[in-house]
Amino acid sequence: DVKVTQSSRYLVKRTGEKVFLECVQDMDHENMFWYRQDPGLGLRLIYFSYDVKMKEKGDIPEGYSVSREKKERFSLILESASTNQTSMYLCASSLTQGGSYGYTFGSGTRLTVV
């Protein structure tokens, strides 16, 4: 069964901390994505990557960076966590850049910044 694995289900971090959210997929997909989900706002794209060492900004990249050193791993970095980054973070991967195959999502990381 194909999988996207996010390293933590729940995280609590302090304001100003540097936070790493890890995502690994075992499907040999080239395309990987980070979204955040907030009530009433749906899923918003933070960053995405179409290849190793390649990254592109999504709709809300401010306060975040990403790293893709290996094909299977896509990391989201909060440089200095703030309370407005408290959210559910979802990683996804896909076979194609377009949506015909859809995305496979991880289970999500619920991050609370205090």
Partner 1 sequence: DQQVKQNSPSLSVQEGRISILNCDYTNSMFDYFLWYKKYPAEGPTFLISISSIKDKNEDGRFTVFLNKSAKHLSLHIVPSQPGDSAVYFCAASTPVGGGADGLTFGKGTHLIIQP
- Residues in contact with partner 1 by CB under 8 A are 4, 9, 33, 35, 40-45, 48, 56, 58, 90, 92, 97-100, 102-108, 110
Nearer to partner 1, 9 or 53 (CB): 9
Q: How far apart are the first and last CA of the chain?
A: 36
Q: Minimal distance in Å, beta carbon 97 to partner 1?
A: 5
DSSP assignment, residue 96? S
The smaller minimum CB distance to partner 1, of residues 83 and 98, is found at 98
Identify which of residues 10 and 80 has a Cβ nearer to partner 1 in the complex.
10
| Residue placing its CB nearer to partner 1 in the complex, 18 or 99 | 99
Query: Torsions phi, psi of 84, nearest 5?
Result: -75, 0
Q: Output the smallest distance, CB 46 to partner 1, in A.
A: 10
Distance CA 16, CA 81 (A): 5
- From the number of C-beta atoms within 10 Å of its C-beta (0-12, 13-18, 19+), residue 41 rates as exposed
- In the complex, the smallest distance separating the C-beta of residue 89 from partner 1, rounded to whole angstroms, is 10
Rounded Cα–Cα distance for residues 59 and 46 (Å): 6
Query: Which amino acid belongs to residue 13?
Result: K
Q: Tell me how far, at minimum, the Cβ of 36 lies from partner 1, in Å.
A: 11
